[in-house]
Structure 1
Amino acid sequence: MTAQNPRRWLITGANSGFGAAFTTAVLAAGEEVVAAVRRPETMAEVVAAHPDRVQVVTLDVRDPAAAERAVKEAGRVDVLVNNAGYGIVGAIEETTEADLRDAMEVMFFGPLRLTQLVLPQMRERRAGAIVQLTSMGGFLSFAGVGAYSAAKGALELASEALAAEVNPLGIQVLIVEPGEFRTGFAKPAALTIGSAIPDYADTVGAVRDGLPASDQQQQGDPGKAAAAVLATVGQANPPLRLALGPDAVGAIRGKLASMAAELNATADLGLNTGFDQA
């Protein structure tokens, strides 16, 4: 795209956190934003500052009809950023089925629904990009974040398959895996926290107490994360995954090393499971 024909970015959750950082970075780059938010009034200042380059559409990603309307109102979408999400904390046993289902609806079904809705126009143009905001928690997990990681991990694996399907059609898929950033993600009011069972205090307690306490103390700068994403979208030979933050890079490296060691340790068992030769 050029200055005369800038890219249009459809960003979910564009009014806060990473979504707001992406919106700021895209506008600073001279491009256009379609801000998909549940409360359009929260974008009033941004619209006033950039009336010719910001369009607001109302969207709760749980709502299929609203998703169809939002994509139709957006018109051309060059880059879809599936950013909307929230934190959910609790042991698996502490997490209600309703909360499990809502996490999957917001962070898996919603993003895939929007992806399916924008793909026809991208296929027609043989161009476009899908940015899936997952988390380092979409690549690895630990006690207390099983539901969150399940939703983000499901999106990661679906997106890995998606990339293999659409890359030959000129469409990029980028999975973004942030660590801790100062986005408001950890605000107590923004978190869904399951009722505590005392037996899990030693394993889940640190996350239950520590995540809310970390709000606005994180070292990650959302603006720098947004700049890294903008630098990656549309580049030649782009990566599939982009880990953001020293904690994410370190944790993912650790998981890969652990998996390799475990695979090596059990390889003989795995390799000797075929039928014996006659």
Structure 2
Amino acid sequence: MPAPSDKAVRHWFITGASGGLGRHLTEHALRNGDRVTATVRRPAALDDLRETYGDRLAIVILDLTLPSDVDRVIAATIASGPVDIVVNNAGYAVVGAAEEMTVEQIRDQIEVLLLAPMMITRAFLQPMREQGGGRIIQISSMGGQVAVPTHSSYHAGKWGLEGFTESVSREVSDFNIHLTVVEPGGTRTGFASALQFTPETAVYRDTAVGRTRRHLESIDDSDLTGDPAKLAAAVYDTTRDPNPPLRLPLGSDTYSAVHAALTDRLAALESQKDAAASVAFTD
């Protein structure tokens, strides 16, 4: 088992660690001498890391759609000792028109992308405050700032997570607790192949929904430019930054898409300046 580095050993709590960015981040933290509690749905996926890093890796089964499961795992983790860094990474996307999604799909999407990270964040605030600080990393995406057809529930979760995080970051700034929203672009994590498509209805086939669906169905990892190992390293480096950014866009596609969206949004706002002022009482 590789020996820890000479830096103080930190304890990470990472959700969705069985694959993709979560696994890369778990491995990067372990390689740099830290401890990790990794939540997964497939524990065997981390057998190789457990063999290499031994008791510095704790693997916990967690279903984020079950609030009782979330409460149990967090309570046990906090009881095991201080947690320095929390990473809300687990996620997936349901693809289709809002009209095509079932109520269960929408609820599960919001549960995983928004409600579970909110509850996990909330649960760790008191122990972090009492221990003198900590880091909370929320894995969003360019979809937390940019909206496209077919991703309405996904955007609801990610946009909600970004607003929640910005508010909480201001609430706890006096306690040395830093929150950062990470916004990756297209990254070779297998996420594209794990998209959950709704059954297609004929009325949407020749619309923006259908065209976006065809595009997403044709994408594989080789079409994406983001290197998950480099992304994990960038996130790790942020946890060492004494003044980390609130938002960390990663990927030139993220930068371009978010820049264009914010530019359009600002132009739209400025065009409504007179309308905004028109509703005030007049003397």
TM-score (normalised: structure 2): 0.92
Q: Indicate conservation of the 8 Å contact 1:172/1:234, yes or no.
A: no
What displacement does 1:125 show?
1.1
Q: Distance in 2 between matches of 1:206 and 1:126?
A: 50
1:192 to 2:196 alignment: yes
Q: Secondary structure at the match of 1:274?
A: coil
1:82 and 2:85 correspond: no
Given residue 147 of structure 2, which amino acid in structure 1 is its aligned partner?
Answer: S
By how many angstroms is 1:144 displaced?
A: 1.1
Indicate the SS of the match to 1:105: helix
2:74 aligns with 71
Distance (whole Å) between structure 2 residues aligned to residue 62 and residue 226 of structure 1: 25
Does 2:154 align with 1:148?
A: yes
User: What SS does the corresponding residue of 1:243 show, helix, strand or coil?
Assistant: strand
CA contact (8 A) 1:156 1:175 kept: yes
In structure 1, the gaps of 5 or more residues are: none
Instruction: Say if 2:18 and 2:41, in contact at 8 Å, map to a contact too.
Output: no
Within-5 A mapping of 1:31-180 = 31-74=34-77, 75=80, 76-180=82-186
Cα shift at 1:114: 1.2
1:4, distance to aligned residue in structure 2 (A): 6.0
Aligned residue in 2 for 1:8 = 11
Tell me which moved more, 56-65 or 207-216.
Answer: 207-216
Q: Is the 8 A contact 1:57 1:73 kept in 2?
A: no
**Secondary structure of 2:91's aligned partner:** coil
Question: Across the two proteins, how many residue pairs are aligned to each other?
Answer: 274
Q: Does the 8 A contact of 1:128 with 1:171 survive in 2?
A: yes
Q: CA deviation at 1:229?
A: 0.8
Match of 1:203 among 208, 211, 214: 208
Matches of 2:20 and 2:217, distance apart in 1: 15
Q: Is the contact between residue 49 and residue 57 of structure 2 (CA under 8 Å) also seen in structure 1?
A: yes
Give yes or no for contact 1:129–1:234 (8 Å, CA) kept in 2: no
Report 1:185-264 matches (<5 A): 185-187=191-193, 190-201=194-205, 202-217=207-222, 218-264=224-270
Distance (whole Å) between structure 2 residues aligned to residue 60 and residue 175 of structure 1: 22
Helix, strand or coil for the counterpart of 2:221?
coil
Measured at CA, do residues 5 and 68 of structure 1 come closer, stay the same or move farther in structure 2, by a change above 3 Å?
farther
Alignment of 1:267-278 (within 5 A): 267-277=273-283
User: Which piece of structure 1 moves more, 78-87 or 263-272?
Assistant: 263-272
- Deviation string 1:152-201 (CA, Å, 9 cap, x unpaired) is 111111111111111211101000111110011111xx222112122322
Question: Which residue of 22, 26, 29 corresponds with 1:23?
Answer: 26
Q: Which residue of 1 aligns with 2:188?
A: 182
User: What CA deviation, in whole Å up to 9, does each residue of 1:124-151 have, x standing for no partner?
Assistant: 0121011111111111201111111111
Q: 1 CA distance for matches of 2:204 and 2:175?
A: 48
Inter-partner Cα distance in structure 2 for 1:68 and 1:196 = 36
In 2, distance between residues paired with 1:204 and 1:266? Answer: 29
Runs of 4+ in 1 over 6 A off after TM superposition: none
CA contact (8 A) 1:185 1:215 kept: no
- The letter for the 1-side match of 2:52 is A
Shift of 1:263: 1.1
Q: Which moved more, 1:2-11 or 1:108-117?
A: 2-11
Given that 2:19 and 2:45 are in contact with CA atoms closer than 8 Å, whether structure 1 keeps it comes out as: no
Q: Deviations over 1:103-138 (max 9, x none)?
A: 001111111111122222101012101111111111
Instruction: State the superposition RMSD in angstroms.
Output: 1.5
Instruction: Give the aligned residue type for 2:28.
Output: A
Q: Unpaired runs of 5+ in structure 2?
A: none
Letter of the structure 2 residue corresponding to residue 66 of structure 1:
D
